[in-house]
Structures are given as C-alpha cells and as structure tokens.
Chains A and B, each alone.
Chain A
C-alpha cells in the first residue's frame, strides 16, 4: 500500500545484522549475531557488562568495524561505511557534548556538517521537544546531568537519522530522573517514529521502554522478543535469572501427556505446558517466577491442579512495602523465593513456619538442566565474588 510504505519510509528503517562477529585479538566480543530491528520500533539490547551489546551498537554506528558479517539499513549495506556516511546517530553514554561549543552549536553540529545554513528554527524546535527551550546559549558544563542527556538526544534526533542508537544514556542519572527520562524517551520515540536501538544493562528499563528486547550474553543473543514473552517464557536460565528472578528446581521428566509434560522434583509431581517446555526429556529445571507462587500453611488443601512443593520452612521474611519477600528452605536444601503482594488479605508468615508452595502449572516453564542455574543471576555472582575475594 503506497500510503503505508511512505509512512514506513519516513518512520525510520529496518536494521539488519547478519552473522556479525567482532573479535579483539583472541577474545570474541560478538559471536555471529543475527538481528533484525523493524523500523519504527523501540528495540532494547539488554545484557550484563561485557556481553557485547555496546560493541554491537558501535558497529552499527561505524565506530567499530565488524570482523565479519554485514549490517544493512533499509536494504543498503553500510558495513564498511565511515560513521559520517551512515544515516545513524548515537547518544553516547557520557553524552560527549562538545565543551567548547554552546548548546545551540552542539545541537546544530550535525546539520552544519551537512551544509544546512539556517539552523536556528530547527534547533529551537528540537530544544522545545526535549524541554530545554531557552538553553541555546548555555554551555554544557553549566547543565545538570539530566539536561546534558537531553541535549545529547536533541543533537542526535535533529538529524532525523534512520536509526537512533542510545548507549546506556540513562546510566548516570539518579533513580527518579531515570524513571522520568524513560517515559520521556518512549514518548519522543512514539512521536517521532524513528527506530530506536537502546543498549542497557537495566532489565527494568528495557522492559519499560522497549517493544522488542534482545537479551545478550557473552556475544550471543540468548532470546529476543517482546518483554512479556521474554519474561513469561524465558528460553534459557540466563534469561530467566537476568530478567526478574526465577526459582529453578531440578527435576526428572516422567513423561508427556498431550499438552502437558510431567516431571518429578524431589518426590513432588509437577506439570508444565508442553508449549513452555524448552526441554521435555531427561533432567530439566522447573522454573516459576516468585510472584506466581503462593504460600500456604503446611498440610492445607491445595487448589485442584496446582503444582505443589511441600515441606518448606520459611527462613527469611522481608517487608518491601508493596510486597513481602519470603525465602523458603526446602527439604533438599534449596532456598526458593516467593513474592506476595501485601493486599491485606492475610497476615504475613513468620520465620520458622512450615509451609507448602503452590502455583498454577500454566506459569511453569522447563529449561535445559545442562545450563547453569545461576547464569544471569547478578546477586549470586556478587556473593561468589565476595566469598572468593
């Protein structure tokens, strides 16, 4: 449809990475990455530091050259093009505002290099968009972190790139400001319609802002899809631990009956939908999100069809305001996490109480037991590091 394609052409372009690899000496930062970012999307590259997400971004920007593979925008190959020849702009992590130029010149920089003579109107409009009208004559050092970040955004956006790259732009801001900017960025992206590729290590940020998330780990994409899909049906232990938290219990697959896979976890029979089982034979991790689990006093009647893990003892109770976090020690020495919303329906359990855990089988997912149950769990990694220090 002619209307649609015209709108599509204006609203940014498809970004495609095909088998993109980057090695530094002996170290592989990005390993044969395949990625398609649809035009007009807000796309997040999420992962811990060192996973290769920033390197990937820089390759799209042209600041690094891929060792192999191709990058195309709207069909044209930009892999070997210099940064100043690409229809791509970047918002840098520490903003990189030119200290010797004022805000107006900073924002107008890209326009001027492309020969645009009369920049004033465009600069003023763009500053209005990021709510910094009237700041044109100030210097970067006179601005706060949040203001600098908005200038950096304006400076990139004003050039109407086909793809806008954001390299952890909110990292240096405090929590409240960050939340505010997340909403702002999403609003601007929707308004302007440009393809945004946002690199971050903050999973909450990615889930809030992005239409599509790609979780990266050690140079590869572990899973890619809408936030809800990644959260509800993680494909690997890494994703299950990196996005939110998961309880992973070792179990043996007993068999499959139609739509359901039945497993045995330390004597407890549990069921999971076959559609949510990444593995349906041998040893698996039974996964369930802490907020999907209910605690009941030991021996109380479970609802029909629930998955049940009995024999737990509450070992820690943390009141978080919105919810209460329980740690429950199971007979096989594993501590499982349960979040219960403080809806006021019931008194909190106390430490030492014997409890049963139950949840709906529909919320269960099964993962390959060969994968490390602590992959992507940054709290655990930190504890290990401290213990070894």
Chain B
C-alpha cells in the first residue's frame, strides 16, 4: 500500500471519530459558557458577555431574591414527582410485561402519546381542563406536581419495561424451585434485578421534572420553579448565579452517572 493510500486509510478510519469529537465539543460548548459565566461579573443587568472574573457568585449564590427559593421548589416538586411517577410507572410496567389484560393496544397508545405530544399542547390542555373545572384561580404547587407526574409516567414505564422484559424468567422459576414463594421470589430475585431500571427511570424522571418549563408555565399559578425563574429573569436581567446553579446541576448529575457506571462495572449485576 502506498503511503498516500495509507494516509487515506488513516484519514477515513479516523474521520468519523474526528467528526464525532467535534460534534461532542459542539454539544459541550454552551456548558463551557455556563461554567465560564458563573464566574462572570456582568457590567450591566442585561449583559450576556464575559466582563470580569469574580468568585462572588459562588460565594453568595442566594444573593438574588427568589432564585434559591425557586431551586428549592424545583427540588421539592422533582422529588415528589419522581416518587409518584416511579411508583405508578413501575406498577404499569409490571402489568404490561407480566400480566394479561384486555385493551393492550389502547393502553400502549395512551402511554406512548404523552411522549409524542408537544409540551405546548399538553400544558395548554391541562390548563383548559383546570379552568373548565373552575380551578383556574388555585393553580400552584399541586397543579405543577400533577402535570409532572403525568408526563414522567410514560418514560418510567418504558424504562422499567425494557429492563423487566430483558429479565430472564428462569431466575424466578429457579427461585420458586428452591422453596421461595411468590412474595420471596419477588423481593429477593425480581426486584433486585429490575432495580437498576427503576433507578434509571427515577433519575430520568427527576431530570425531566426539574428541567421542565413549558408545561409548568401553563399551570403554575404563582409558584416559581427554577426554569420559571430563569425565564422571568431573562426579561429583567439574568443574575450570574443562575449559571452557578446550572454548573452545580451539571456536575452533580455527571458525578451520579459516572459514579453509577463505575459502580456497575465493579459489581456486575
């Protein structure tokens, strides 16, 4: 092979990977900016450029009125929504994989649709429902929570279902063969083996809830979640502490996911 051919081969072998890395860098570009801007001391309220370096934002993250409160609200809603969606969704996943019932295609469709519907439509239709039920005035924490559980549910079902369907049924049969009754089989064999799927579903649920804006915007009443705070601030002037929250979230989640991978590799389950 001539050296030209060899170079050509090297290029084509590595071209794809090179493009991939470029795309990955592109994906991280805004993150980089978020981290950068978290150290920014903006020259003016509406400035989007890096003006001066400061650690103030990190030292006084809650300086801006309302921001930390909104983060707390988002965390609360996120936690409760995750709890609700994970429990309800796991039950549905078990029903789909392990039980017989009529109306399977209708059920599948109903689970699929929320994932395929634009948030604008889901959010506005919930608002339409609440107002025709006369609740337009009492929207707030609970209406947001209800909406979040609703759209997280489908994702939980799909995630848990994937894990459960891939679970070899021989394990449970072996357990029963070895004197474990149904209850014991479930808790000692099925549940531990499905758990990684349930955990993944919970994490997915939490991030969907914490990050949600559109549906929340339609049904929030006076309650302010973090995304809503950012939205409002975008008109009035973004405090740089917003980027602190963004960076923290990113690092936290990254640690969780990487930690999870390492943990899994250490203890193959």
Q: Do chains A and B touch in the complex (CB under 8 A)?
A: yes
Contact among B178, B268, B269 with A155 in the assembled complex (CB-CB below 8 Å): B178
The answer to whether B171 has its CB under 8 Å from any CB of chain A is: yes
Closest to B184 in A: A113
Known: A92-B170, A99-B269, A113-B184. A82 touches B193 (CB 8 A): no
User: B193 touching A61 by the CB < 8 A rule?
Assistant: no
Q: Which of A43-51, A83-91, A375-383 contacts B (4 or more CB under 8 A)?
A: A83-91
| Residues of chain B with a CB closer than 8 A to A99's CB | 171, 193, 268-269
In the complex the two chains form, what is the Cα distance from A83 to B172 in whole Å? 11
Q: What sequence of 0s and 1s flags, for each residue 47-68 of chain A, a beta carbon within 8 Å of any chain B beta carbon?
A: 0000000000000011100000
Question: Which residues of chain B are within 8 angstroms of A61 by Cβ–Cβ distance?
Answer: 177
Q: Could you say which residues of chain B place their CB within 8 Å of the CB of A69?
A: none
B179's contact among A84, A92, A96, A98, by CB below 8 Å, is which? A84
Contact indicator B179/A113 (Cβ below 8 Å): yes
Contact A84 B170 (CB under 8 A): no
Complex CA–CA separation, A156 to B179 (angstroms):
11
Tell me, yes or no, whether B192 is within 8 Å of chain A by CB: yes
Cβ of B111 within 8 Å of any chain A Cβ, yes or no, is: no
Q: Which residues in chain A, 135-150, are within 8 Å of chain B measured between CB atoms? A: 139, 141
Query: Would you give the shortest CB distance from B19 to chain A, in whole angstroms?
Result: 36
A62 touches B179 (CB 8 A): no
From B171, B176, B192, contact of A82 by CB (8 A): B176
Give the shortest distance, in Å, between A275 (CB) and chain B (any CB).
43
Quick one: given A98-B189, A99-B268, are A83 and B176 in contact (CB under 8 Å)? yes
Taking a contact as CB atoms under 8 Å apart, the answer to whether A100 and B269 are in contact is yes
Given contacts A100-B192, A100-B269, contact A92 B174 (CB under 8 A): yes
- Establish whether residues A84 and B181, one from each chain, have CB atoms under 8 Å apart when the complex forms: yes
Q: Is the CB of B168 within 8 A of A96?
A: yes
Distance in Å from the Cβ of B263 to the closest Cβ of chain A? 13
Choose one: B177, B179, B189, B193; the contact of A63 (CB below 8 Å): B177
What is the bound-complex CA distance between A139 and B170, given in angstroms? Answer: 18
Number of residues of chain A lying within 8 A (CB) of chain B: 24
B contacts with A: majority SS: helix
Q: Does A159 contact B (CB under 8 A)?
A: yes
Q: How many angstroms between the C-alpha atoms of A159 and B173 in the bound complex?
A: 16
Q: How many A-B residue pairs have CB under 8 A?
A: 60
Q: CA separation between A83 and B171, bound complex, in Å?
A: 13
**Do A83 and B268 touch (CB < 8 A)?**
no
Q: Is the CB of A90 within 8 A of B269?
A: no
The number of residues on chain B lying at the interface, defined by a beta carbon within 8 Å of a beta carbon of chain A, is: 18
Please report which residues of chain B, range 165-213, place their CB below 8 angstroms from some CB of chain A when the two chains form the complex: 168, 170-171, 173-181, 184, 189, 192-193
Contacts of B178 in A (CB 8 A): 84, 89, 109-110, 113, 155-156, 159
For residues 74 through 131 of chain A, which have their beta carbon under 8 Å from a beta carbon of chain B?
82-84, 88-90, 92, 94, 96, 98-100, 109-110, 113-114
| Residue numbers in B under 8 Å from A96 (CB-CB) | 168, 170-171, 173-174
B179 touches A159 (CB 8 A): yes
CB distance from A114 to the nearest CB of B (A): 5
**Bound-complex Cα distance A141 to B267 (A):** 10
Query: Could you tell me the distance between the alpha carbons of A100 and B171 in the complex, rounded to whole angstroms?
Result: 11
A98 touches B176 (CB 8 A): no
Residues of B within 8 A of A155 (CB): 178
Given A99-B268, A99-B269, A139-B268, is A89 in contact with B180 using a C-beta cutoff of 8 Å?
no
Chain B contacts for A141, CB-based, 8 A: 268
Q: B268, A90: Cβ atoms under 8 Å?
A: no
CB distance from B245 to the nearest CB of A (A): 37
- Complex CA–CA separation, A94 to B169 (angstroms): 11
Q: Kindly identify which residue among B170, B176, B177, B193 contacts A94, using a CB–CB cutoff of 8 Å.
A: B170
In Å, the complex CA distance between A362 and B173 comes to 49
Nearest-neighbor residue (CB-CB) of A161 within chain B: B177
Can you offer 26 A-B residue contacts whose CB atoms are under 8 A?
Answer: A62-B176, A82-B176, A83-B177, A84-B178, A84-B179, A84-B180, A84-B181, A89-B178, A90-B174, A92-B170, A92-B174, A94-B170, A96-B168, A96-B173, A98-B189, A99-B171, A99-B268, A99-B269, A109-B175, A109-B180, A110-B178, A110-B179, A113-B178, A139-B268, A141-B268, A156-B178
9 closest pairs, A vs B, by CB? A110-B178, A96-B174, A113-B179, A96-B170, A83-B176, A84-B179, A100-B269, A90-B177, A113-B180
Beyond A63-B176, A84-B179, A113-B178, 9 additional contacts (C-beta under 8 Å) are A83-B176, A84-B177, A92-B173, A96-B173, A98-B171, A99-B171, A110-B178, A113-B179, A159-B178
